[in-house]
Amino acid sequence: MQSELPNYTRCVTAGPKADPMLARAADLLTSEVRTPDRQLGEFTRSRILEIFCAEAIGSYQCEPNAAGSGWLRSLRDPKINIALSHIHAEAGAAWSVEKLARL
């Protein structure tokens, strides 16, 4: 199975071509890494890293050469996005295509 994401991607985090949210996440992550003695630092760094990765994927998704099919493309579909939101909100529910279609 071919991955929707490339093996690597270059993220612009500064300058006029930088995605603002990705740049903010990079700044926050840099700040957290530079203060390793913070008591909640590891927890905070992990959350910021998650945000950075989500923003990097979102930034990649908007590129002209980004994958045009599969799950990454489905995130742009409003109906699929609603279904995924419900699944994530109630991950343990007994979901069916019929139930999701009604939503």
Higher pLDDT, 48 or 69: 48
At 67-90, the pLDDT tens digits run 555 666 666 778 888 888 888 889
Question: In sequence order, which ranges of 34-74 are alpha helices (DSSP H)?
Answer: 41-61, 71-74
Give the model's pLDDT for residue 96.
Answer: 92
Query: Per the structure, how many domains does the chain have?
Result: 2
78 with 98, same domain? yes
5 with 54, same domain? yes
For 61, phi then psi, to 5°, come to -60, -30
Average pLDDT on 38-63 reads: 80
Dmax over Cα atoms in the chain, in whole Å?
Answer: 51
19 with 56, same domain? yes
63 with 81, same domain? no
**What is the extent of the structural domain holding 96?**
68-103
What is the pLDDT confidence band of residue 94, given thresholds at 50, 70 and 90?
very high
Q: Do 22 and 56 touch, CB atoms closer than 8 A?
A: yes
12 with 51, same domain? yes
For 37, phi then psi, to 5°, come to -90, 0
At 2-33, the pLDDT tens digits run 566 667 778 888 889 888 888 999 998 888 88
